[in-house]
Structure 1
Amino acid sequence: MKPLDATDRTLIALLQDNARLSTVALARAVGLARSSVQERLQRLESAGVIAQYTVRLGSGGDPLQAWLLLRYADGFSCDDVMPLLAALPAVRTCHSVAGEIDMLVLVQADTPSELADLREKIVAFKGVDDVTTMPVLRVALDRR
C-alpha cells in the first residue's frame, strides 16, 4: 500500500469523529469527488488501515474510566500479562510503552467500588509488580 497522504489522514480523522458521515459529506470536506473518496476508503479498508466502523456510546450514565499504569515484576513481560488483561471485559485498551511504566491500561467500571475491585484483581496478577490508578475526569478528544 502506498503511504497515507494528508487527504487519507483527514478522511480517517473525520470518520473517527463520526463514522456515520456519508461519502458525499466526506467528499465535500476534503474537496474530492464522491467516487474518489469511495476508492480511497476501499483502499484504506483493504489495507487494514480502517478495520471497522463502530459505535461509541454517548453520555447518559457514562461509565467511570481510569488509566492503570502497570509495572511488570522482574522476569515478566507484556506476553505474560496480556492474556490475563484480555480476559477482563472491563479492560478497554492496552498499550505497551517504554520508560518507568511498562503498560498503560484503560479500564471502565460502573461504580467506584467496581473500579477498586478491578484494580485489586489486576494488581494481584502474577507478573504485575505495581499499579498506579489515574481516574479519567473528562475526555477532551477521543478519535478511537
Structure 2
Amino acid sequence: MKILDDTDRKLIALLQDNARLSTVALAKAVGLARSSVQERMQRLESAGVIAQYTVRLGSGGDPLRAWLLLRYGEGFSCDDVVPPLVELAQVRSIHSVAGEIDLMVLVETVGPGELADLRERVAALKGVDDVTTLPVLRTALERG
C-alpha cells in the first residue's frame, strides 16, 4: 500500500472519534465525493490499515489508560516514530519531551491484555529503542 496521505489520516481520525459516521458525512468532512471516500475506505480496509470498526466504552466501561514512555533508537527522531503511532486507535495523545524520554504517549485500552499487546506493537516499531509502561491508577484532575 502507498503511504497514507493527509486525507487518509483525516478519515481515520474521524472514524476513531465516531466509527458510525456515514460515508456521506465522511465525504463532506474531507471535501471529497462519496464514491472517492468509499474507494479510500475499501483500500484502507484491504491494506489492513483499518482492521475493524469497534465500540469505545464510555465512562461506565472504565477503560485502562497508560502512559508509554518511548526512547528513540540511534539515528531516529520524532518524524520516524510518530506517524505509525498516529495510526494506532488506542493512542490518545503524543507529546515530544526533553530529557531521558523522547516521547510520552497516552493510550487507552479496554484492559490489561490489550495494553500488553499494544505495548508490544509499539516496542516493535522501527525507531523505538525502549518503552516504559505506566498504567494510570487514578486521575486526580483533567482539564480541557
Band the TM-score falls in, shorter-chain normalisation = 0.5 to 0.7
* Partner residue in 2 for 1:82: 82
Scaled by the length of structure 2, what TM-score is found? 0.59
Structure 1, unaligned runs of 5 or more: 1-56
Where do 1:8-27 residues align within 5 Å? none
- Cα displacement (A) at 1:61: 1.2
Q: For 2:73 and 2:143, locate their aligned partners in 1 and report how far apart those are by CA, in whole Å.
A: 32
AA of the residue aligned to 1:143: R
Q: Is 2:98 the partner of 1:113?
A: no
In the TM superposition, what are the counterparts of 1:52-71 in structure 2 within 5 Å?
Answer: 59-71=59-71
Structure 1 length as normaliser, TM-score? 0.59
Q: Which runs of 5+ in 2 are unaligned?
A: 1-56
Read off the aligned partner of 1:137 and give its amino acid letter.
L
Q: Residue in 2 aligned with 1:93? A: 93
Which residue is 2:126 aligned to? Answer: 126
Which digits, 9 at most, give the CA deviation of each residue in 1:5-33, with x for residues without a partner? xxxxxxxxxxxxxxxxxxxxxxxxxxxxx
AA partner of residue 59 (structure 1): S
1:73-121 per-residue CA deviation (whole Å, 9 max, x = no partner) reads 0000001001010000100000000000000000010010000000000
Matches of 1:115 and 1:108 in 2, distance apart?
A: 8
Distance in 2 (alpha carbons) for counterparts of 1:141 and 1:77 = 31
Q: Distance in 2 between matches of 1:100 and 1:124?
A: 20
Structure 1 outlier segments of 4+, above 6 Å: none
Q: 2 CA distance for matches of 1:103 and 1:129?
A: 12
* Amino acid aligned to 2:68: L
**1:17 alignment partner in structure 2:** none
Partner Cα separation in structure 2 for residue 65 and residue 133 of structure 1: 10
Report the number of matched residues. 88
The 1:85/1:133 distance shift into structure 2, 3 A limit, reads same
